[in-house]
Amino acid sequence: MDKLNLRRELMSSRASLSPEQLRTNASKVRETLLDQPWVQMAGLVACYWSMGTEPETHGLVFALWKHGATVILPVLKEDNDLDWAVYDGPDTLAPGRYGVMEPVDTRRGVDAIRTAALVIVPALAVDRLTGVRLGRGGGSYDRALARVGPNVPTVALLHPGELVEGVPAEPHDQRVRWAITPRELTRLM
């Protein structure tokens, strides 16, 4: 299946999830991640502020921040690259482009992700054999992930059924090292 049709299929599947399923999935993913020593020890975490039916990160971001991590969230630039700014609590967010909540803190630049000890990214699917991540098609996270060091854990948050075999890949597509669903945390690379 090509990327466009796979995206449509996955978005349709996500749209069928009930609010209860979304809450349960978010809770399980958050608990599993926060139990990992490599997550607990990460001083600087790059994450995203979820929207719609994406695996919810609001509670995760808040928990990481409350436990002492510095959390940076993306700020979408005009060219669709990602700048980064520090999250300093729920009152420090404002709607950005397309209504996605972004930190109002000073922008740290596109290279700020290079200093993160943990990178958590959105995905519609991840190939369980190769770690290739399927995003929404804008290329923002492929550019950001290309800046992350080879030993930094990169984690894609998924709903059940989104860790699959056979995600179509192009040369610019970046891989993730971990995928997490409410049922499993899987090391990919």
First and final C-alpha spacing in the chain: 24
Mean pLDDT of 34-40: 95
pLDDT higher than threshold 80 for residue 1 = no
Quote the number of domains for the chain. Answer: 1
What pLDDT, in 10s, does the model give residues 92-112? 999 998 888 999 989 999 999
- Between CA 129 and CA 164 the distance in angstroms is 8
What range defines the domain where residue 139 resides? 3-187
Give the SS3 label for residue 107. Answer: coil
pLDDT higher than threshold 80 for residue 34 = yes
pLDDT at 169: 87
Mean pLDDT of 143-169: 94
Nearest CA to 23 out of 49, 48, 60 is that of: 60
- Between CA 133 and CA 45 the distance in angstroms is 19
pLDDT at 170: 86
What pLDDT, in 10s, does the model give residues 57-82? 999 999 999 999 999 999 999 999 99
> How many CA atoms lie less than 13 Å away from 137 in the CB half-sphere?
8
Sheet holding 125-127, edge to edge: 133-134, 125-127, 163-164
pLDDT band for position 119 (50/70/90)? very high
Q: What is the CATH number of the domain that holds 158?
A: 3.40.50.10420
What count of other Cβ atoms lies within 10 Å of the Cβ of residue 20?
8
Give the SS3 label for residue 46. Answer: strand
What pLDDT, in 10s, does the model give residues 161-181? 999 998 988 888 899 999 999
Alpha helices in the chain (DSSP H): 3-15, 19-34, 37-40, 58-66, 140-145
pLDDT higher than threshold 90 for residue 84 = yes
